[in-house]
Amino acid sequence: MRLLEPYQLGDLTLENRLVMAPMTRNRAPGCLPNERMARYYVQRATAGLIVSEGTQIATVAQGYQDTPGIHTEEQRDGWRRVTDAVHRAGGHIFAQLWHVGRVSHSYYHGLRPVAPSAVPPPGKAYIPENPLPYETPHALTVAEIGEVIEQFRHAARVARDAGFDGVEIHGANGYLIDQFLRSGTNQRQDEYGGSVENRCRFLLEVTRAVVEIWSDRRVGVRLSPGGTTNGAVDENPVATFSTAISGLDAIAGLGYLHIVEAPVGTSGPDERAVCATELARSLYRGTLITTGGYTPEAAEHLLEKECADLVGFGRLFIANPDLVERVRRHAPLNEADRSTFYSRGDHGYLDYPALVARVENL
């Protein structure tokens, strides 16, 4: 099977082509990575590559309860225990660098959320037991944008010092970078807004800054051209993402582009929606990962057609810590329990059964 063949990502040899997609699990009290998280990732270390849950690059970049950070020494030391454990288990792990922008709330940190423009997201902030309306964010000045880029650079260094194999820049799902990309959330008149090129500037500056910190091919970027999560709307997403992806293609040393698959809407009523992965494949010449609703069979088909190089699995990796072995054996898959995705305990986190444990239990 193509899925089970090794893949060369720069100087990193991935054992197979299954990527564990980044998934927030809210199990980091105090925003500190811990032993339970190490166990969770070790259980899944046979993935060709693990992309960690979103990790905030600064205090104000946090948007949800108990998500881990990647900007303090204590967080670095916590992550070091996770990365050491994953490496001892033979795995590879990248940190997902995350700034939620306006999808934050002062409830978490006492600070005013920031965004390209002073436009609040729709709905309420995801605060357990007490959802609060989102606040109107502070529109970053050009000088402050420079500071956020420095925060990305700093977090990239912390990730390197914490023993990660690389980093993925979270440019998807309506968070800060996506807020800059989209015409609906970016209403700036300066060099970071207006034209498509200007809206792409922040993404490309962040990416270049992070690539400078890491060695060759150890930085990926995640985009969701077809997504509308968190009020991510754009008047012409095909044009916006074509420019963004071409811009990334021109950055030497970038390791991969990671697409969250969903059909990309178009501006005209007569035009057909575009497949996000196909759009990326046509414009990006490097390693392409695609994630979003794939079964192992669908993923295999995609790889055979060379539509992507690696395939990400989210919920299947939550429910099947030994997903790779199950694919190898064509074994049945466990189903993920949504009610424990963001809950606190070990249940639904550390207790999904693996085939070997099942055999041992017989």
Report the interface residues with ligand FMN, using CB under 6 A: 21-24, 53-54, 96, 170, 172-173, 222, 260, 291-294, 313-316, 341
For this structure, is 107 an active site residue?
no
| Choice between 53 and 165, CB closer to ligand FMN | 53
**Cβ–Cβ < 8 Å for 221, 207:** yes
Q: At its nearest, how many Å lie between ligand FMN and the CB of residue 290?
A: 10
Question: What is the C-alpha separation between 39 and 175, in angstroms, rounded?
Answer: 28
| Choice between 157 and 315, CB closer to ligand FMN | 315
Q: At its nearest, how many Å lie between ligand FMN and the CB of residue 172?
A: 5
Q: For residue 153, what is the enclosing H or E element?
A: helix 142-161
In terms of residues, how long is the chain? 362
The tokens describing 83, both together, are 């990365």
Backbone angles phi, psi at 55, to 5 degrees: -125, 120
Geometric angle at alpha carbon 185, from 179 and 191, rounded to 5°: 75
| Choice between 146 and 263, CB closer to ligand FMN | 263
| Choice between 256 and 294, CB closer to ligand FMN | 294
The tokens describing 206, both together, are 């962040």
Question: What is the C-alpha separation between 169 and 212, in angstroms, rounded?
Answer: 13
Q: At its nearest, how many Å lie between ligand FMN and the CB of residue 289?
A: 10
Geometric angle at alpha carbon 239, from 277 and 142, rounded to 5°: 110
Geometric angle at alpha carbon 316, from 313 and 318, rounded to 5°: 105
Q: At its nearest, how many Å lie between ligand FMN and the CB of residue 214?
A: 19
**Cβ–Cβ < 8 Å for 59, 107:** no
- Residue from 7, 41, 134, 175 carrying the catalytic annotation: 175
| Choice between 101 and 193, CB closer to ligand FMN | 101
Q: At its nearest, how many Å lie between ligand FMN and the CB of residue 293?
A: 4
Closest CA to 283 of 255, 234, 248, 309: 248
Backbone angles phi, psi at 116, to 5 degrees: -65, -35
Please list the active-site residues: 175
